[in-house]
Structure 1
């Protein structure tokens, strides 16, 4: 008989952690607010907001600033996010490159670095060597000590579950399961979070991009394949086994090209960096040997092979977006990833107009399809993993045992009840 899930209660400290994060998220989204504004926005009492804001000031997460005048009584003090209240590193393993960013709490990029890597970085210990080196270089560029980081996030192609990266071996019937988050976390002596690159980029959009305007959106990520990340009610949706959003294996042409997942006609066989590279690689090169910059160069000179791929890919992308809208009803769909901006823009232009919406919004605030705000969103999204783990006001905080780490490392973690005390893995 299947064991049922255990329902666990809450206690006052879990509720306090949630309320602190709710207040902090409201400040982050709004820029600066008075305590009275926060009380109205969050539904908390004025006394609760006053107590929480004092705790956040003490932890260095918010700043008390100018006084708002023009109203009766004493002028109210505004509080705002302290950008230097926390720092994180994001690492993104893309096609032939490992890139990294170091950001502050506001998402401002303080340092960037990129290393060229072989098309397959094996053994995997070498990948963690490269990642460790990149983190050290980013810290040196930003002039920060390792202890100032909240953690490191890693955006990785393929299957990532609980911080474990699964990769194919020489035998397609076997997969190697590598505890990347645990291994890198032990080397750096820092919390490390690992996530599929598409879902990491979606979290980046939630914090720094379209998430400022939309609570429900779907991020489509061009890596070497193509993946997706659904954000529902402001939170990442992972699904029952952590595989939600794997649109690369959505069948868009029954009986079409064979895919390594065992099916035929999957989206990424027609719409992906791999598919674009395959269209221009010729007989003497593998698609894996085609650098991303070549796509941009060919787009600039209007290469007929690349333009042909765009024409052929657009109907499949249009169909995929239609299916995404039916399943998730997002406010908008965001297109981003490693595809050069000029190629991405041409693909969007060819894909529009989209198929008719089944449930059209009578007062849409956003276009149905938008471009990602930042080209380096995969790395920014990876950096958002440890920050999101600390800041996101998830209802999971109300359940005992969910996200409980080890001993709290500092005042920030004590105040927010964050799961960073000794746990490495995925969100």
Structure 2
């Protein structure tokens, strides 16, 4: 445990009030006092500071209470903005969001060059176009978040699991993007990013602990435990795709046999319909969706088989982490999510008592098929909401010219 000083206490209280308004607003000062455990006068002082800093605003008055109507507080959408970038197979996408997570502008572009520098240039150019088109003031930009399908170490290195050993190995993507954009950059694994986005903008607003199963070509996982994002000692927490669910089964690129993503992933689904002329990663998700809607028996058989192994993975996750719920999200067509959840139920018995938890054990993410960069845009904001010492990857440059971030202790 580390000691605290007066400034640290003030910053901690500011973050607590900011986060409570973000997650529970519109909310009155009296309600904030109950939630946080400070006196109403103390809450009023902090709320005034946050309002003066342009981070929260008075939303209106609560009618129907005793005495004078109480003023409600909510986030000021114009208090800050962030850019979210997502690198996926053959394309990059980006969004600009305000402080409430509302998308201001979005864009997706196809890329043919997969080299590290060319990819970094495409991501940086997309970020600069989004900033210019949305006319976000420089002093209101909280940073750029970037989601990548690989392992991130300390926010600076990206290891492509498929291309390990080539130019991508230990490529300083965050540092490169900071130099190209002149902005704070956070790079994180796509599954962790998806979980963070769901924590801030989706189901995580109503539940404290969940495991996010993120579908891309493969399948990964993101952990939120007691409201905090957890990435592990080396950024690999939640690597569910390489959980062995069928000993001696199909050979995986990791060297093991019977890994989950060999049976439950977009790659595995596409493999059933790609034919001999194509590889599964050449099958667009739209074609998978069309085949499913047309009742292709090959996909129906895949759903039935995948559901068996999904049940095993869910039961193992529950035994290890005891989450409120497990969330499915990412790049699968929505109908495949719905069919997988239907086929996986009933789930294997859970011997852990749920103590009246009303959440279902398996859910579809609120943003499962929407704007994959939305979670990345949440990365700069997530640092403020990590109240007990962040486990998120830190940006390269710890300095910041943003007054609001300095006010909240992110500098």
Q: Which TM-score tier does this pair reach, normalised by the shorter chain?
A: over 0.9
TM-score by length of 2: 0.93
- The residue aligned with 2:27 is 33
Query: How far 1:111 sits from its partner (Å)?
Result: 1.0
Of stretches 203-212 and 402-411 in structure 1, the one that deviates more from structure 2 is 402-411
SS in 1 for 2:277: coil
Instruction: Tell me the distance in 1 between the aligned counterparts of 2:399 and 2:116.
Output: 30
Q: In structure 2, which of residues 38, 44, 50 is the aligned counterpart of residue 56 of structure 1?
A: 50
Instruction: Tell me the distance in 1 between the aligned counterparts of 2:111 and 2:398.
Output: 35
Of stretches 226-235 and 86-95 in structure 1, the one that deviates more from structure 2 is 86-95
- The residue aligned with 2:297 is 304
- The residue aligned with 1:122 is 114
Query: How far 1:93 sits from its partner (Å)?
Result: 1.4
Equivalent runs, 1:355-374 vs 2, <5 Å: 355-374=348-367
Instruction: Tell me the distance in 2 between the aligned counterparts of 1:321 and 1:72.
Output: 48
Number of residue pairs matched?
406
Q: 1:415 to 1:175 in 2, by over 3 A?
A: closer
Does 1:110 find its partner at 2:110?
no
Does 1:11 find its partner at 2:8?
no
Instruction: Tell me the distance in 2 between the aligned counterparts of 1:173 and 1:137.
Output: 30
- The residue aligned with 2:283 is 290
- The residue aligned with 1:144 is 136
Does 1:352 find its partner at 2:341?
no
Q: Is the 8 A contact 2:142 2:405 kept in 1?
A: no
Q: Which blocks of at least 5 consecutive residues in structure 2 are unaligned? A: none
Instruction: Tell me the distance in 2 between the aligned counterparts of 1:274 and 1:259.
Output: 12
Equivalent runs, 1:83-232 vs 2, <5 Å: 83-118=77-112, 121-163=113-155, 164-167=157-160, 176-232=169-225
CA-atom RMSD in angstroms: 2.2
Of stretches 217-226 and 288-297 in structure 1, the one that deviates more from structure 2 is 288-297
Q: 1:170 to 1:180 in 2, by over 3 A?
A: closer
Q: Is the 8 A contact 1:169 1:176 kept in 2?
A: no
Q: Is the 8 A contact 1:23 1:42 kept in 2?
A: yes
SS in 2 for 1:130: helix
Query: How far 1:28 sits from its partner (Å)?
Result: 1.2
Q: Is the 8 A contact 2:143 2:183 kept in 1?
A: yes
Q: Is the 8 A contact 1:95 1:292 kept in 2?
A: no
SS in 2 for 1:395: coil
Q: 1:174 to 1:415 in 2, by over 3 A?
A: closer
Q: Which blocks of at least 5 consecutive residues in structure 1 are unaligned? A: 1-6, 422-427
Instruction: Tell me the distance in 2 between the aligned counterparts of 1:248 and 1:309.
Output: 17
Query: How far 1:407 sits from its partner (Å)?
Result: 4.2
Equivalent runs, 1:223-372 vs 2, <5 Å: 223-372=216-365
Q: Is the 8 A contact 2:98 2:104 kept in 1?
A: yes
Q: In structure 2, which of residues 65, 69, 74 is the aligned counterpart of residue 80 of structure 1?
A: 74
SS in 1 for 2:276: coil
Q: Write the deviation string for residues 310-367 of structure 1: whole angstroms up to 9, x where unpaired.
A: 1111101111011111111111111010001111211111111111111132422111
SS in 2 for 1:89: strand
Q: Is the 8 A contact 1:259 1:265 kept in 2?
A: yes
Q: Write the deviation string for residues 222-257 of structure 1: whole angstroms up to 9, x where unpaired.
A: 011100011001001112222110000000011111
Instruction: Tell me the distance in 1 between the aligned counterparts of 2:104 and 2:396.
Output: 30
- The residue aligned with 1:424 is none
Instruction: Tell me the distance in 2 between the aligned counterparts of 1:271 and 1:172.
Output: 26
Of stretches 138-147 and 124-133 in structure 1, the one that deviates more from structure 2 is 138-147
Query: How far 1:9 sits from its partner (Å)?
Result: 2.8
Instruction: Tell me the distance in 2 between the aligned counterparts of 1:403 and 1:126.
Output: 21
Q: Is the 8 A contact 2:312 2:348 kept in 1?
A: yes
Of stretches 40-49 and 405-414 in structure 1, the one that deviates more from structure 2 is 405-414
- The residue aligned with 2:373 is 379
